[in-house]
Structures are given as C-alpha cells and as structure tokens.
Amino acid sequence: MHELNGKVAVITGGGSGLGRELALRCAARGMKLVLGDVDEKGMAETVRLVEQEFVGTESATMRLDVSRLEEVQALADLCKSRFGAAHLIFNNAGVSVNGPVWTNTPADWEWVLGVNLYGVVWGVKVFTPMLIEQGEGHIVNTASAAGWLNGPSSGIYNVSKTSVVAISETLALDLRDVGSKVGVTVLCPAFFPTGIHQSDRNRPADKADTAEKSEVSLKRAAALKYAVENGRIPASDIAEMTLKAVEDEQFYVFPHRKIKQLISLRAEAASVEKDVFDSMNP
C-alpha cells in the first residue's frame, strides 16, 4: 500500500511496546486506528499519546483476547461499524514463557500458542477476506528472529514464531494464487526494548499453571531480560521500518542485520547434517 493517509489500521497488542509505536507511526501518516489488547489501561495510554502528538486522529479500542476467534471477528465488526473498512492489519500481540521444553506445562503451551500463533491465524482468517473483497489492503504479521533461530529455554516461543513465518509465506503465495493484490509483510526482529519479558502480567488465571523455575531457567530469564532491555534498536525505529516496508510492498523485514548472517550459518550447519546450530554460540 503506497498511500496510507485516511486508511484504517488495526493493531493487536496496541496497549504497549511495538503495538503502541505502530499506532503512533500510523497516526503520523494520517491513518485511523482500531486497537485491540487485553490491557485496556495500556490502550487508553496509547490513545492519549496519539491524540497528544497527532491531534484529531480518529480511533477505537476493544478489549481483545486474540486467541478467541469470536473476539477477533468482533474486532473486524468494530472496524466496519466505526469506519466502514479495515486496510492495514497488524497481527502483533505476543507473549512468552521460558524454561527447558520438557518442563513447560499444558497451560504454558495453550497460553503462548493461543496468543502468538492463533492470534495470527484468526487475524488472517477474519481480515483477509475483507481485504480481498475491498481490492486493497496489507497484513503485517509480527514474527521474530526466533522464527528462524531456535535458542534454548524458549521452545514454545520458537514454535509459535516459526509458525508465524510459515503462515506469512503461505498467505502471500495463496494470495498470489488467486490474483489478489493484498500485500503481506512478516516482521522478524531480534531483541529490542519492549515488555515481552513481563508477559505474565497479562496471563489469564485459567492458564496460570507453570513450571517452577530451575536455576537454569532463572539464568536464562535474566539473560533474556538484559537482552530485551538493552536492545540497540528502539521499538519506534522498528515500527517506522515496518511502515516503510508496507509502503514499499516489502515482504521480509529484518531490523537486526546480523540475523540474516546467522540464518546463513544455520543453513550451512544443516548442509553438514551433524550438530545442532546454536545461534547463541555460532
């Protein structure tokens, strides 16, 4: 989509982090906003910041659990009733747990895959037909470097983000098959400052069961917290890169250039067929 002014942006996970920065970058381009998140206070703060910087921006918010198809459908219905359309869809909500993969509980799997994987699945299912019918639109799926590189103690997160890359690539090919001009972008950042390491703050009570943290788990969690908080590229820059990718009809976005080098090294390790590739110690 080359012209975004006056169009409608839909952002899941719009209450904080990258979602908030995407909202600000969309508003800077004159877009109307529809935000969904379980964090209603966070969304209210996003709207406040948008209105403070870009006076007159039209917006709507909805408490949203992206793991539930019916709620994502309700978000689409809100877009239609409030603005008559949706054009730029950011399937962005995400959470994380850590620990050795055999220790993760069923609740861990259900929660993370519900948000990270099914949140994208339902966003694609609900909004793609709308965009095809309109004859215009673009879908941005937030994956991760973890969609390509599988680090330790992040098994469920790795599975979810690898799946997001797969869905995004397949979606783009399926749209090409039917002759649609709807665009697709898959965003694959490495560590950058967000609240992803504090995901538990929004964890639902019915999925609270998780493994007791071992010494290894605590060490990995501390390393993750440090990496996230000390990421060199701010969320605002990643959001701007993403909007420019949409305007340029760019499919892959790797804000951290080192990731592509590591992916190449992983491919070399696969060609040798001997040892597992360790992106932490390439």
Active site residue 157: yes
Place of tokens 């508003």: 27
State which fold the 8-272 domain adopts.
Answer: Rossmann fold (3.40.50)
- Coil, helix or strand for 164? helix
Place of tokens 């973890």: 146
User: pLDDT tens digits, the chain, 282 residues: what are they?
Assistant: 789 999 999 999 999 999 999 999 999 999 999 999 999 999 999 999 999 999 999 999 999 999 999 999 999 999 999 999 999 999 999 999 989 999 999 999 999 999 999 999 999 999 999 999 999 999 999 999 999 999 999 999 999 999 999 999 999 999 999 999 999 999 999 976 676 656 778 888 888 888 887 777 777 667 666 566 666 799 999 999 999 999 999 999 999 999 999 999 999 999 999 999 998 887
| Distances from the Cα of 188 to the Cα of 59, 98, 154, 211, angstroms | 27, 19, 16, 28
Query: Could you tell me the two tokens for 2?
Result: 């080359």
Catalytic one among 118, 157, 226, 252? 157
Domain boundaries, the chain: 8-272
Place of tokens 């215009």: 136
pLDDT, residue 2, reads 85
pTM: 0.93
Residues 6+ apart with CB under 8 A from 21: 235, 236, 238, 239
Number of continuous H segments (helices) and E segments (strands) in the chain = 9, 7
Query: Could you tell me the two tokens for 38?
Result: 């379980």
Q: Count of CB atoms within 10 A of residue 116's CB?
A: 27
pLDDT, residue 255, reads 96
Place of tokens 């409608």: 8
pLDDT, residue 22, reads 98
pLDDT, residue 267, reads 97
pLDDT, residue 36, reads 98
